[in-house]
Amino acid sequence: MKLEVEKELVRWKEAYDNVQKCAVNALSVALPGLGASKTPTYCCPVTLTIDRPNEVGEGRICVDDDIRATVELDTVPNPVIAEAVDALFGIAWFDGANGPLENEGPGTYNYDDEMTGGEYEVKLGEDGAGRVYISCIPIGFAVEFLDALSSAQENQRMRAAPV
């Protein structure tokens, strides 16, 4: 390989590594309790898990080679999911929702983002806790969603606190 090509390839790799590190930092700040985890051999290069379960559910976020995120969270309180989705996307944005998600019953609600190719699925569970699954979205969108979940959790906690 030509020396100048090799130097530029090294520069590109350093920039790529820095972008991935910044992505991990942004995701971790957006959802407190999220931290690095061992990455399974079949998975993305970076896996983050919630190391304080039940704050905003349990689960993981994977960051792939294209620095896109997949979010998988279980046992997220239904009101937290509903508030986050409605605040971030607007009312009745997801398929199957005819009004505010907090007024919808248990079920699965979807949104496919044609612009980014991301797929969003939220499930409001029968037992008051649901699931969030978001596939292959840009890091910025994942950070916004995780921040909306974290903010909704804080809002729900403040509403439940004795006055």
pLDDT in single tens digits along all 163 residues of the chain: 899 999 999 999 999 999 999 999 999 999 988 888 887 767 788 899 986 666 688 899 999 988 899 999 999 999 999 999 999 999 999 999 999 999 999 999 999 999 989 999 999 999 999 999 999 999 999 999 999 999 999 999 888 887 7
Q: How far is CA 121 from CA 16, 65, 126, 131, in A?
A: 29, 22, 16, 8
The b-or-e profile of 69-85 (16+ CB within 10 A means b, else e) is bbbbbbbbbbbbbbbbb
pTM: 0.90
Q: Are 24 and 63 in contact (CB under 8 A)?
A: yes
Which distant-in-sequence residues (6+ apart) come within 8 Å of 27 by Cβ? 34, 48, 61, 63, 69, 139, 142, 143, 146
Nearest partner of 47 among 29, 75, 71, judged by Cα: 71
Residue 37 and residue 61: Cα distance in Å, rounded? Answer: 10
**Dihedral over alpha carbons 42, 43, 46, 52 (to 10 degrees):** -110
Q: Are 131 and 122 in contact (CB under 8 A)?
A: yes
